[in-house]
Amino acid sequence: MLNVTFSHCAGLDVHKKTVVATRIRPLGESDEAEQETQTFGTTTAELLTLLDWLLGWEVTHVAMESTGVYWQPIYNILEGNLEVWLVNAHHLKQVPGRKTDVGDSAWLAQVMRLGLVKPSFIPPQPQRDLRDLTRYRVKLVQERAREVNRIQKVLEGANIKLASVASDVLGVSGRAMLEALVEGVRDARQLAELAKGRLRQKLSQWEQALQGRMRPHQAYLLAHQLAHLDFLDEEIAALSEQIERQLAALPPVVSPPTGEDTGSGAHPEGVGEPTPPLTATEAAALLDTIPGVSLRLAQAMLAEVGPDLTRFPSAKHLAAWAGLAPGNHESAGKRHSGRTRQGNPTLRTLMIEGAWAAAKTKQTYLATLYHRLAGRRGKKRAVVAVAHAMLVSAYYMLSRRRPYLELGPAYLDHRKKESLVNRLMQRLNRIGYAVTVQPMPTPA
């Protein structure tokens, strides 16, 4: 017999145009309950009627599935009046029982009443606004990359081979040449003279690359593409300024005094002393110290998880929520697939992007971790492991108010020094060499 967790609750089956709601309340003083189901529209007026209908039975908790974006209008109306739980559909399917389209709302209400589901993390409104800005900026940056590819396609069609000389076609030199082509300049030597800085050492290569067949049609396309590129640059810059203002407006995070449990398993020095509040701007500066993480990426990370990490009991919970933790599938003493499970797709993509950048750094722990794993497990698995390590580091950095601590490229070797020495000696023995190892004298 399961105990009742919430006596007055409701379940909502959310669709684009309708919401099917089922409310439950106790029937007298017995353990039995009565329920009622009704369908509402999704306009603001209908949702306000839904709120009054729920409050009529003194409902305190409401559960609904995370269906696309259709849950957001309902959450906007119910937030502040009721405690709304956004339930993961995958978790709900694991609860035994009937679940059909007809009885979705009733089933949600019943499992909510018995406390068989857990709520998903929904950030506060200021953080949700920041998320909208950072995610939109990502889309604009992606559109800018597509526009650059379109420009390159037009140049190839006109026999202009700028990309074979300069790595950045839209650098200072390349942009000046493109604008001259739009204005009608076709002389290769005159165009090559627009090269700046060290690129002037390649004047002969520039002349050969700029001997093309640019037609008026292609010049017309190129002019509009460059104008669109300028527009996107302006929009991205304006969004970045607004994101900085939104970050500065977020309330600072006040942690408990050191010595109390912060969820990270470790505490800064000075036990018992109050930890100063952490602003979102300061948190972004801390995350920016991680190799592979730019300020723009740090801002996007904060928009997804927020500067307050107390909502995640540990770094493992944060990694699992992001979809970067190894899967756990073991049966009959055998471990099966360990592929990562689904999580926050935006945060996962951001961390993977940062991991690729960290893998290209020099003399860092993260780059060493990537190369050690890439040879055995493949590049994709290795970059996921690096992204996991970066997110765990971010958790402790924000919890302890400390910048990134670089462990160095030899950290993994020093952790298991003896096993490394034994493995290398065995490899030498297998090819016919007998060696002895002595530690180097410690410098005075």
Going from the first residue of the chain to its last (444 residues), give the mean pLDDT of each consecutive group of 10, the final group possibly shorter. Answer: 83 91 86 88 94 94 85 91 85 61 77 85 90 96 95 93 89 92 92 90 90 92 96 97 94 62 39 70 94 95 91 90 78 66 88 95 93 91 94 93 90 82 87 84 69
Does residue 242 share a domain with residue 276?
no
Give residue 382's domain range: 254-327+341-408
- CA–CA separation, 150 and 430 (whole Å): 55
Residue with tokens 């969820």, as numbered in its chain: 263
Are both 82 and 140 inside the same structural domain? no
> Within a domain: residue 334?
no
**Does residue 422 lie in a domain region?**
no
Distance CA 122, CA 84 (A): 10
Residues 6+ apart with CB under 8 A from 247: 130, 280, 281, 284, 299, 302
pLDDT at 264 (0 to 100): 35
Say if residue 19 is in the same domain as residue 91. yes
State the CATH number of the domain containing residue 43. 3.30.420.10
| Residues 102, 187 within the same domain | no
Residue type, 158: A
Both tokens of residue 206?
């520039």
| Residue 295 belongs to a domain | yes
172 and 201 part of one domain: yes
Domain boundary among 189, 217, 249: 249
Angle at 411 between CA 408 and CA 416, to 5 degrees: 170
Question: Are 305 and 318 a contacting pair, CB within 8 Å?
Answer: yes
| Amino acid 332: pLDDT | 64
Rounded to a whole number of angstroms, the CA Rg of the chain reads 29
In a domain, 244, yes or no: yes
> 266 and 403: one domain?
yes
Helix, strand, coil shares of the chain as percentages rounded to 5? Answer: 50, 10, 40
Strand 83-87 relative to strand 33-41, pairing: unpaired
Residue 233, SS3 per DSSP: helix
As to burial, measured by CB atoms within 10 angstroms (0-12 exposed, 13-18 middle, 19+ buried), residue 45 is exposed
90 & 233 share domain:
no
Q: In terms of domains, do 77 and 48 share one?
A: yes
Beta partners for residue 83, in sequence order: 61
Q: What pLDDT, on a 0 to 100 scale, did the predictor assign at position 112?
A: 87
Q: What is the C-alpha to C-alpha distance for residues 51 and 82, in angstroms, rounded to an integer?
A: 9
CA atoms within 13 A on the CB side of 10: 28
| Residue 87 lies inside a defined structural domain of this protein | yes
167 plus 99 within the same structural domain: no
Determine the straight-line distance between the first and last CA of the chain, rounded to whole angstroms. 72
95/174 same-domain check: no
Q: Which of 120, 137, 157 is the last residue of a domain?
A: 120
Residue 274 counted as domain residue: yes
CB 396 within 8 A of CB 403: no
Q: Which domain-ending residue is among 77, 101, 120? A: 120
What is the dihedral sign for C-alpha 29, 33, 34, 39? positive
Residue 231 lies in a domain: yes
Give the single-character DSSP code of 7.
Answer: S
Question: What distance in Å separates the CA atoms of residue 63 and residue 61, rounded to the nearest whole number?
Answer: 7
**428 domain-assigned:** no
Strands across the sheet containing 61-65 = 33-41, 18-26, 9-14, 61-65, 83-87
Angle at 373 between CA 364 and CA 435, to 5 degrees: 85
Is 319 in the same domain as 184? no
Domain count, the chain: 3
Do 263 and 402 fall into the same domain?
yes
